[in-house]
Amino acid sequence: MLKFGRILRLIGFSMMVLACGKVDEPSREIIFGSAFETDVRASELTTENMSSFGVFATLEEDGKNFKDPEATLDPFMDNVPVTKNGSVWSANPKHYWPLLANKKLSFFAYAPHNASSPEIDPVADWDNKNVKIDYKVHSNPLSQVDLCVAKAVLDKDSHLDMDKPVELEFSHTLTWVTFAANYVGDVPDGCFLRIEELELQNVLDENVLVHSHATGEDFFSWSDFPDGAQKDGKYLLSLNNASLGNMEIVQKDPSAASPEYTDFVSTKGYLYLLPQQVNSPEDGVRSEVKVTFAFVKNDENRTVIAQFYTTKELPESEWNVASKVKYCFTIDVNNVSLINIAPIAKKWIEDWAESGNTHTDQEIR
């Protein structure tokens, strides 16, 4: 789980205020602190590169706590975008701490904000004390985003806590799927083998995330299998272009005790997909990978002299939340087939930008 410590702060300055009835006039602007700079496809979200997040908040009356069955939860912030203005992160429109006593605020946050990611549709469900996010994986891999949610921060007192930082810990919610390749057989003299395209077929592409008020590790969950959901998602990685790099495959010894593969090293040669069980015995629709490869002249023109494709069913495997799954496959170029494909699972990413984080490798061959 990737944690972003102290990425959201509520700080501000005094203002002249008025109060009338139940309506609270502003006392201090809610300003968000800590650094995010850019939200790019080329890397996962971290404290250093997030560009936006959305906030939901409720106002609790009469000193009640959020979890109190008798608490009245008045919507206070409804999917408010938070972006950086100079060196300060602020909500648009601005929001202020309530002036009157016995008021508490509870916060839910997710990233990136859906203004730039239309496949993210969050809705507060205060009757059930959670936020639900309808999420659909973007059909274009280059537009897929790293959806993160933060543990709810509950019951911040409008008088006692307005000058204290409110800490949010964001966690990845998706599975990062990537690939690596090797080949056996003979490539024509003067040529090399290049992966042109890879298409992942028949995977779950839409689901609902429930972002609860739990404070433990399991503070969010995906639906087991939403009503009407179909495993019909298809995602094409066109690897032979300038933005994705040249996927030349270097042949490595397939008989080695620990076979090696050429990683899809491009920063854009991967997919952000929904956690799911892949090709369980109960699945009627089978998930597959289609690989298109070519023999390419090893000269300055890089002329393609022949092109082939082959399709193979993925092995039974599980895509867990916040995990990185790499599928290693071997192409038999003489018979135009994939002779094996095996998944390796890891905790999300090897090198986190924040110091002190570690990861655990787990092979699931």
Give pLDDT tens digits for 194-219: 999 999 999 999 999 999 999 788 89
Which band of pLDDT confidence, cut at 50, 70 and 90, is reported for residue 160? confident
Which band of pLDDT confidence, cut at 50, 70 and 90, is reported for residue 170? confident
CA distances to 131, 208, 231, 340, 365 from 194, in Å = 45, 38, 29, 18, 25
Residue-level pLDDT at 16: 23
Examine the pLDDT at 3 and tell me if it is beyond 50: no
In this structure, are 149 and 212 located in the same domain?
no
pLDDT digits (tens, 9 = 90+) for 317-337: 999 998 899 999 999 999 988
| Domain end (from 147, 172, 197) | 172
Two tokens, residue 185: 């057989």
Two tokens, residue 235: 């995602």
Residue-level pLDDT at 161: 81
In this structure, are 121 and 58 located in the same domain?
yes
In this structure, are 188 and 143 located in the same domain?
no
Asked whether residue 6 is domain-assigned, the answer is: no
Residue 108 near residue 124 (C-beta atoms within 8 A): yes
Higher pLDDT, 357 or 243: 243
Q: At 317, which CATH number?
A: 2.60.40
| Beta strands at 262-263 and 88-91: parallel, antiparallel or unpaired | unpaired
Helix (H) or strand (E) segment spanning residue 149 = strand 148-150
In this structure, are 223 and 182 located in the same domain?
yes
Q: What is the DSSP string of 252-272?
A: --TTSSS---EE--STTS-EE
Domain count, the chain: 2
Name residue 23's beta-bridge partners.
Answer: 20
Asked whether residue 81 is domain-assigned, the answer is: yes
Question: In whole angstroms, what is the distance from residue 208 CA to residue 51 CA?
Answer: 23
Examine the pLDDT at 78 and tell me if it is beyond 80: yes
Asked whether residue 3 is domain-assigned, the answer is: no
Q: How many Cα atoms are found within 13 Å in the side-chain-facing hemisphere of 129?
A: 18
Instruction: Centre a 10 Å sphere on the Cβ of residue 256 and count the other Cβ atoms it contains.
Output: 8
| Domain end (from 172, 197, 214) | 172
pLDDT over 90 percentage in the chain: 41
In this structure, are 140 and 184 located in the same domain?
no
Amino acid at 48: E
Question: In whole angstroms, what is the distance from residue 62 CA to residue 326 CA?
Answer: 52
The residue segments making up the domain with residue 185 are 175-363
pLDDT over 70 percentage in the chain: 76
Asked whether residue 1 is domain-assigned, the answer is: no
Which band of pLDDT confidence, cut at 50, 70 and 90, is reported for residue 287? very high
Secondary structure of residue 213 in the 3-state scheme: coil
In this structure, are 186 and 203 located in the same domain?
yes
Asked whether residue 2 is domain-assigned, the answer is: no
Asked whether residue 4 is domain-assigned, the answer is: no
In this structure, are 93 and 213 located in the same domain?
no
Examine the pLDDT at 250 and tell me if it is beyond 50: yes
Question: In whole angstroms, what is the distance from residue 313 CA to residue 31 CA?
Answer: 50
In this structure, are 231 and 335 located in the same domain?
yes
CA distances to 99, 178, 264 from 164, in Å = 16, 41, 45
Asked whether residue 5 is domain-assigned, the answer is: no
In this structure, are 77 and 220 located in the same domain?
no
Instruction: List the one residue out of 77, 214, 100 whose CA is nearest residue 159.
Output: 100
Q: Could you identify the residue written with the tokens 């867990």?
A: 320
Amino acid at 56: F
Helix (H) or strand (E) segment spanning residue 192 = strand 191-203
How would you label 3-22 residue by residue, b for 16+ Cβ within 10 Å and e otherwise?
A: bbeebbbbbbeeeeeeeeee
Amino acid at 50: M
Instruction: List the one residue out of 346, 41, 343, 328 whose CA is nearest residue 198.
Output: 328
In this structure, are 180 and 159 located in the same domain?
no
This prediction has a pTM of 0.82
| Domain end (from 172, 207, 235) | 172
In this structure, are 37 and 138 located in the same domain?
yes
Residue 266 near residue 239 (C-beta atoms within 8 A): yes
Question: In whole angstroms, what is the distance from residue 33 CA to residue 6 CA?
Answer: 8
Instruction: Centre a 10 Å sphere on the Cβ of residue 102 and count the other Cβ atoms it contains.
Output: 13
In this structure, are 182 and 139 located in the same domain?
no
Asked whether residue 274 is domain-assigned, the answer is: yes
